Structures are given as structure tokens and as C-alpha cells.
Chain A
């Protein structure tokens, strides 16, 4: 991390004038823009009326104390994105622990140590900057619902086992399509195509978490659990096929080659978590179920069918989705044969 930090807009909340001046002047000395509030109510008014990168919040205040402000901020959709550093005296350790448990970003003891002040403020601003970047990233890759959940639960990198449906989608014979057209046309095609695929995934509570060439991987049922994740995945796939019909009609009218996709879905236990670097992290899944979904998608080429799913996925579908059992198949690298089902497009 660099020692020079981009200046931030900070709000110092303290009922004590000496503390306010001290914090404000210290932070201004580091290049930040600082506003002050004398109590909780004033702090909330300022927070709602303007945009801030960080709040330094005193616990002991008359009328509305630091806890109350913290709780209100954490429950507020907009305000909870602003990190809050609690400022307290040494003997308030219990209170501080409570605040950090509630969701405060950090704390500083009073009298404030200038070196710690600088370090903690810069660290919090840096974390906020990364979160803002990640938020932008997630909002392109996931629904707002998922993005919000991720932001609420934090970006812990630890993995966990979750039950989810994994989908792989590929454009059939993409290489030969690419060879027949200009590079700009290929990029335009991919952009249009992905826009449709994303719409289908996010419209059914899924998260797109990988793009590679013309291929796409999506997860349903994680990071937010939905009981009906198998149905969601299959409905998203059916919508993809439906959207592509319209897309192809339009392409045909422009004398452009039609595109076909293969979609494979498998359901089961996956290891889910965040992978990547500080600059770029995504939510992803690994494990047998993921491999299986990729194999099933690959198998759609052999059978020339658009949508294949595994047995566990098929067992989670309502009656209006028609499936046909295709019998067991022994995939490369698998010990047991897998029962495969074709889903009939509407």
C-alpha cells in the first residue's frame, strides 16, 4: 500500500469541541476534507445530505449517542457503505468491542495518537476504495440483490460448501463463425450475445462469474441461497434459448450467421468463495459439480441438443418444465455413470 493516500471527505462526530478541532485539524493536515458534527442527529443530517468516504464517530454523546448513529447507519441502505471508525477513551473497551461487532470498521483510542490516526484512516479509505471498485464490478456481473448481499456480508475470502446449480454456456462452432467475419463484428456479436445471456441469468437470481471467449459460467443458489435454484437455472437456460431465437431472426434479416448455444447444468455441493487479488475479486465455485456441468455442456454438441441437465437438477423442477431421460453416460474422468436429461424448449 502506498503511504500517500488520495484525500477523502471525512465527517468527524464528537460533542466535545476540543476533540472535534483536534481530529479535524489533524486530518486536514493529511490533506483530507473534513466536516464536523456535534451530535448524532446532526451527523445523520450531514450524512444524508452529502457524500462522505469515512466517519469518525464518538460513542459518548448526549441525545443520540455513537451506538445509535452506528445502528441507524448500518440499517440504512445508502449509509452502511460508509466506513465508521469509533473514537473512544481507553476505558470504554467493552463499548468498542460492541461497536466493532455491530459492524464498525475500526476504532481509535482517545487521546488520539497521530500516527495511528493517519494509518487507520488511510487503511479504511483504501478498503472503501476497493469495496467501491468491487461494487462496480459485481454490479456488472451480478444482480443488485447479489451485489448488496456480498457487500453486506463482506468480502471475506474464506470458502464454504454450498448447494448450488452451476451452468455453462457456449456458442456452437464459434471458431468457424469468427473466421468468417471481421474482428469488430465478432466483438459486437459477443457484446450483444453476452448482454442477452446476462439478462437471462440475473433475471433468474443467478450470478455470472466467469467469461472466457464465448463461454460463460453462472451460479444459482449462491452466494444467496434460494430453495428453487435448480428451477431458476433451468428457467434461465430456457430464456436464453428464447432470447436467441429473436436475436437470430434479427441476424438473419441482416444476412448474418445464426448462432446456437449449448447449455449444461449440474447441481450439487460446490466450494464457493472469493478468488482473485485485492484489485479484482470474484465470487466463484469449484468442485466436482462444476466439472460435471462443464462436461454436460460439452456433451450437448455430441447430441446436438441445446440444454442438458443432470439428475439432481431434474429432480428440482416443477411439472411445467418437460424433461426427457437420456440414460446414463460415463464422462471422462468420472467413476460413476451420470444420468443425463434433456430439457425441451418451450
Chain B
């Protein structure tokens, strides 16, 4: 599975305009770590709603950039949140690692 799906990313570039792709990447690199740390906080506070919403937001962005692995992991965590199940095991660490890979790749895709 590619870290970033090229076709989706090209579509995104077309939509935002090539001039704005850097702005989008920077916004994601800035916001996504917040979402992951919010999920960690929510997990400790047993705040299912916040956990689910942040996972949802991260999933939404992952799909926008064409990051299938990150998207699938975030989606799984969102579903668990929706089902009031916060027994996530090591999934947050796995998610974080997936994000690091996506971040690395996206940094190289800035124009």
C-alpha cells in the first residue's frame, strides 16, 4: 500500500490549485499532531466523544491527501469511539507511526 496515493494527491492539487498545495500540507502537518494528542488526552480522560471526533477529523484529512493506511487506522479508531469502546490497545502508537510516514512523504511533495 503506498503511503500517499498519487492519483488522489494530484486531484487534490488540481482542486486547491498548485499554488495552495503547500498551504494545505503545512496546515495538515500542523494540525494532525494536535488531533493525535487530543485523542491521547481523550483516552486518558475517557472522553469518548472527543476521541471519536478527533479520529474522524484525522480520517477526513487522511482521505483528502490520499493516505490510505492512516485513513483506515483513523477510521477504525473513530468506529471504536462511536461504539463507546476505548480499549484501543497500541493502536494510537500505530496511528502515530503511520502519520510520521505520511508527514515525511508529504514534506517531499511540497512544490
**Contact partner, B61, options A16, A26, A29, Cβ 8 Å:** A16
Please tell me if the beta carbons of A18 and B64 are within 8 angstroms of each other in the complex: yes
- If A21-B23, A60-B53, A62-B50 touch, whether A16 touches B60 (CB-CB below 8 Å) is yes
Question: Does B30 interact with chain A (Cβ within 8 Å)?
Answer: yes
Question: Does B45 interact with chain A (Cβ within 8 Å)?
Answer: no
**Highest count of chain A CB atoms <10 Å: which of B60, B64, B75:** B60
Question: CA–CA, A117 to B11, complex, Å?
Answer: 13
- If A21-B24, A22-B16, A22-B24 touch, whether A15 touches B63 (CB-CB below 8 Å) is no
Report the contact-size class of chain A (Cβ under 8 Å from the partner): 10 to 19
Interface mask (A50-76 → B, CB under 8 Å = 1, otherwise 0): 000000000010100000000000000
CB-CB contacts below 8 Å: A87-119 with B: 89, 91, 110-112, 114, 117
CB-CB contacts below 8 Å: B1-47 with A: 8, 11-12, 14-17, 20, 23-24, 27-28, 30-31
Instruction: List chain A residues, Cβ under 8 A from B50.
Output: 62
Report the contact-size class of chain B (Cβ under 8 Å from the partner): 20 to 34
Which A residue's beta carbon lies closest to that of B27? A17
**Highest count of chain B CB atoms <10 Å: which of A17, A25, A62, A117:** A17
Interface of B is mostly: helix
Please tell me if the beta carbons of A89 and B60 are within 8 angstroms of each other in the complex: yes
Please tell me if the beta carbons of B57 and A15 are within 8 angstroms of each other in the complex: yes
Q: Which residues of B are interface residues toward A (Cβ below 8 A)? A: 8, 11-12, 14-17, 20, 23-24, 27-28, 30-31, 50, 53, 56-57, 59-61, 63-64, 75
Q: Which residues of A are interface residues toward B (Cβ below 8 A)? A: 15-19, 21-22, 25-26, 29, 60, 62, 89, 91, 110-112, 114, 117
CB proximity of B71 to chain A, nearest CB, Å:
10
Question: CA–CA, A60 to B52, complex, Å?
Answer: 10
Sample (9) of A-B pairs whose CB atoms are under 8 Å apart: A16-B60, A16-B61, A17-B31, A18-B64, A19-B60, A25-B16, A62-B53, A89-B56, A89-B59
